[in-house]
Structure 1
Amino acid sequence: MSSPRLSPPAALAGPDFLWGVATASFQIEGAWATDGRLPCIWGTFCNTPGKILNGDTGEFACDHYHRYAQDVDLMAELGVDAYRLSTAWGRVMDEQGKPNHKGLDFYKRLLDRLQEKGIQRWVTLYHWDLPQYLEDRGGWLNRDTAYRFAEYADLMSRELAGRVDGWMTLNEPWCSAFLGYGNGHHAPGKANIAYVRPAMHHLLLGHGLALPALKANDPGAKRGIVANVGRGTSDSAAPEDQDAAMLYEVQHNNWVLDPLLKGHYPKALERLWPESRPLVLEGDMATISQPMDFLGINYYFRTNVRSDGKDGFVDTPLADVERTQMGWEVHPQGLQDLLVGFKAQYGDKLPPIYITENGMASDDAVGADGQVHDTQRISFLNRHFEALAGAKAKGVDIRGYFCWSLMDNFEWAFGYERRFGLVHVDYETQKRTPKDSALQLKEFLAARG
């Protein structure tokens, strides 16, 4: 049987649809103590025994800090329209809030090379690598961190003005709040459900406080945020289990999107986490719900749930379904269902959407022929492209797609075992090998004209 071919549908092949790849600073840069970069919570987490699979760390990662030019050339060779990257907060300013010009100059060189190659530059300000000194003051449990984030956004948008096509304030605040402070799976490793709603409120407040600076300092760039969303369903028709599926989506999706697009938190959070209440001051929700130019959506999987017998849900994984190396169920229809649902829920408040992450991990290796045959990834991508086309056909304004990820990298608590890249990375030699998915994406983009 022949291998699948990457074949995005015609609805995504037009000249106005943006095709990109994405990465994050801590996952690829390495050089975590170079040129004045300050320690961050993920460095601390890596150095805590038992937190990262195989004891891996992000100290070297993909050495992108030193190999950025090669990596930009690789993107140009693939023919992508855009690159979504993140900047490391601790690399660009010190504890007193003063700029670190060596760190800033790195990002300026990177962005300038992207411009030379005709690649749009989409920059995420916060992809989870909070400076450790701020965590020592309480991190996202401390309201002051939101104001420090606004200062960081002000500095970056002044320093990089004219070099950025789209600014994203936060990446996946759900992960920062819940995985970082609720269950401890991510840095800083706090595990107290009472922390989750205060942490989220301060994250979203930081987003809102940053928007005016981004607009004032770099008016030619778009401004938005990136939310990870998940489809929640139940294989049981029992009312309590259908209610559990609703609660899953409330905590995973509406917890972030309702305050941004409606100006209030969903009431059902009181059922889920009555012990976790944020201090919301007058004016906070107006700050959080300021208009944005776009909404970034990250989608990976569907979760099957049932009632926990109380006001909550429990994961009940389905048998005999396709899964990725992460153990996540492959469910492209969930992406279409969510996007169409968001259009129905938020109406005119829903800004244009970019899929800012979508992809899968697989146990990829370079074969005897020198190539990487990632057939499952190609099939995965094709089916998600069809889901996007289906959502567009139902009137959802989707402007672009960024594949996660450009290359294999440090996959947070899973270290280097899980490979999400279109490009294979040999971590011993740092050799980059485009996988079949990358080569076929190149063919599609070239044929698109």
Structure 2
Amino acid sequence: MSDLPHFGPEFTWGVSTASYQIEGAVDEDGRGRSIWDEFSHTPGRVKDGDTGDVACDHYHRYRDDVALMADLGVDAYRFSISWPRIQPDGVRVEPRGLDFYDRLVDTLLEHGIEPSATLFHWDSPLALEADGGWENRDIAERFAEYARIVGERLSDRVTRWFTLNETVIFTLLGHGTGIHAPGKELGFGALQVAWHQLLAHGRSVQALRAAGARQVGPANNHTQVRPIDDSEASRDAAGLFDLIYNRAFLDPILLKSWPLAGIVDPVAQDGDLDLIAQPIDFLGINSYNPQYIGAAEPGAAIPFDMVTPEGLEYNDFGWPIIPDGFTQMLTGLKETYGDALPPILITENGGAFNETPGDDGRVRDQRRIDYTAAHLAALREAMDAGVDVRGYFHWSFMDNFEWAEGYSQRFGLTWVDYATQQRLPKDSFAWYRSVIDAQRAG
């Protein structure tokens, strides 16, 4: 489209989803129970008692969904593999689970779409929780074995591999505050879980490469951190938040260092940082908005306050819409890591805009179009400033189970009627298709 900058012929255009959010079929073909099955079936954990039992029924409808992606015109599809489909008890291999992803990958290739697989998007086998789950260092070896199994089956056809998705969110919400599965409230003790995820990342990079994977990297969540005011207390609080949220999950991989040394130190062994800092081919970045931080009240449990300023535009999830924060997050990473920063793929970006079909069956989600256009322009600004970005994956291809919010928030380019499983491309679907077409036309 003429009002958007050009991204070049090699730029990858894609969409993203995650297994528990779309697949359903939780009791089929030998799949084991995941921590999200347990969590969502626990009263009071998920809004309206929603679960991912059916979700978008993608397990049965994947062929139609891939055909719709082909109509959208994307180059690549980022999906996640359900660990409990592959190893229902965390140990035994279930061939029918591997067969499903075989079929999905082949169907994508038949439509000219690059399979881009995420090994872990938060749905670990529930059976591993009996041994402590991600609090147990041994899970890194379990994860490496899982990576080997999947890699040996699919790496001949998968274009790019993402190891773990949003380690910071899984750490802080799943293990720090208990808002997400597995619902643990460890406070800063959750950073030990972060360390084990970093180890699992390193071991899975090794396993995937040994299995023949061509491109491997993590998919991290990063945000620009903004002090709410210019006071020293707010600046200090924002600096600490940045260390915990951003740098703790990237410094070990890129700089072979732990940025919270002397503040919160994980239980580690000699050689851990060498293992974590495996060479990667790209850095996947999920990002939606900046985070404002203020000083904590005296005696507060955490040493910063996550602030929601007045006077900003927000999406239906209550997240602020600030496109220049996208630019500044990316240029900030370049300033921090310099030549250590690998090429970047934007693996998630989007928003909850909950428009529903009108009487004519059309979903007029202009707010999603405006958000995406503004963030693509902001992305181009970062690229013009020297940040090496090679692709953009919109979150999400279709409406889905939005974790603790259940089905109340809609992020998709495609509207889903959860009662009938009807798919209805929104206005944003047609707009994104036109963007991709225009980029290819030059």
TM-score bracket relative to the smaller structure: over 0.9
Q: Deviations over 1:263-311 (max 9, x none)?
A: 11113x654xx4xx42110010000011100000000112212111568
Look up the match of 2:275. Answer: 287
Which one is further off, 417-426 or 246-255? Answer: 246-255
For 2:355 and 2:23, the matched residues in 1 are separated by 21
Matches within 5 A, 1:258-337: 258-267=251-260, 270-271=262-263, 274=264, 277-308=265-296, 312-337=303-328
> How far apart are residue 8 of structure 1 and its match?
6.7
> How far apart are residue 234 of structure 1 and its match?
2.0
Q: Deviations over 1:357-380 (max 9, x none)?
A: 000001120111211000111110
Structure 1 residue 10 and structure 2 residue 5: aligned?
yes
Question: What letter corresponds to residue 74 of structure 1 in structure 2?
Answer: L
2:156 to 150, 162, 166: 162
Look up the match of 2:429. Answer: 438
For 2:432 and 2:398, the matched residues in 1 are separated by 14
1:339 to 330, 347, 353: 330
For 2:86 and 2:97, the matched residues in 1 are separated by 5
Matches within 5 A, 1:408-447: 408-447=399-438
- Does the CA contact (< 8 Å) of 1:122 and 1:168 recur in 2? yes
Matches within 5 A, 1:322-401: 322-401=313-392
Look up the match of 1:209. Answer: 203
Look up the match of 2:192. Answer: 198
Question: What letter corresponds to residue 374 of structure 2 in structure 1?
Answer: R
Look up the match of 1:172. Answer: 166
> How far apart are residue 44 of structure 1 and its match?
0.2
Question: What letter corresponds to residue 308 of structure 2 in structure 1?
Answer: P
> How far apart are residue 11 of structure 1 and its match?
3.3
Question: What letter corresponds to residue 346 of structure 1 in structure 2?
Answer: Y
For 1:247 and 1:330, the matched residues in 2 are separated by 23
1:246 to 239, 243, 249: 239
Where does structure 2 lack aligned partners over 5 or more consecutive residues? Answer: none
- Does the CA contact (< 8 Å) of 2:398 and 2:411 recur in 1? yes
Q: Deviations over 1:113-133 (max 9, x none)?
A: 100000011100000001000
2:228 to 217, 231, 235: 235
Q: Secondary structure at the match of 2:45?
A: coil
Q: Deviations over 1:204-224 (max 9, x none)?
A: 1001011111112124x2000
Question: What letter corresponds to residue 390 of structure 2 in structure 1?
Answer: R
For 1:354 and 1:157, the matched residues in 2 are separated by 21
Distance 1:169 1:96, change over 3 A: closer
- Does the CA contact (< 8 Å) of 1:8 and 1:386 recur in 2? no
Q: Deviations over 1:289-336 (max 9, x none)?
A: 111000000001122121115682102211010111111111111111
Q: Secondary structure at the match of 1:338?
A: helix
Runs of at least 4 residues off by over 3 Å: none
Question: What letter corresponds to residue 53 of structure 2 in structure 1?
Answer: E
- Does the CA contact (< 8 Å) of 2:88 and 2:125 recur in 1? no
> How far apart are residue 338 of structure 1 and its match?
1.3
Look up the match of 1:31. Answer: 25
Q: Secondary structure at the match of 2:118?
A: strand
For 1:207 and 1:402, the matched residues in 2 are separated by 21
For 2:2 and 2:167, the matched residues in 1 are separated by 32
Which one is further off, 229-238 or 119-128? Answer: 229-238
Q: Secondary structure at the match of 2:92?
A: coil
Which one is further off, 410-419 or 232-241? Answer: 232-241
Q: Deviations over 1:372-404 (max 9, x none)?
A: 000111110011001110100011000000000
Matches within 5 A, 1:34-73: 34-73=28-67
Which one is further off, 236-245 or 47-56? Answer: 236-245
Question: What letter corresponds to residue 435 of structure 1 in structure 2?
Answer: K
Which one is further off, 209-218 or 57-66? Answer: 209-218
Question: What letter corresponds to residue 335 of structure 1 in structure 2?
Answer: F
Q: Deviations over 1:58-85 (max 9, x none)?
A: 0000000000000000000010110000
For 2:211 and 2:329, the matched residues in 1 are separated by 34
- Does the CA contact (< 8 Å) of 2:20 and 2:123 recur in 1? yes
For 1:307 and 1:356, the matched residues in 2 are separated by 31
For 1:233 and 1:85, the matched residues in 2 are separated by 31
- Does the CA contact (< 8 Å) of 2:90 and 2:128 recur in 1? no
Distance 1:257 1:54, change over 3 A: same
Where does structure 1 lack aligned partners over 5 or more consecutive residues? Answer: 1-5
For 1:104 and 1:408, the matched residues in 2 are separated by 25
Question: What letter corresponds to residue 69 of structure 1 in structure 2?
Answer: R
For 1:109 and 1:354, the matched residues in 2 are separated by 25
> Superposition RMSD on alpha carbons, in Å?
1.4
For 2:132 and 2:198, the matched residues in 1 are separated by 16
Aligned residues: 437
Distance 1:244 1:434, change over 3 A: same
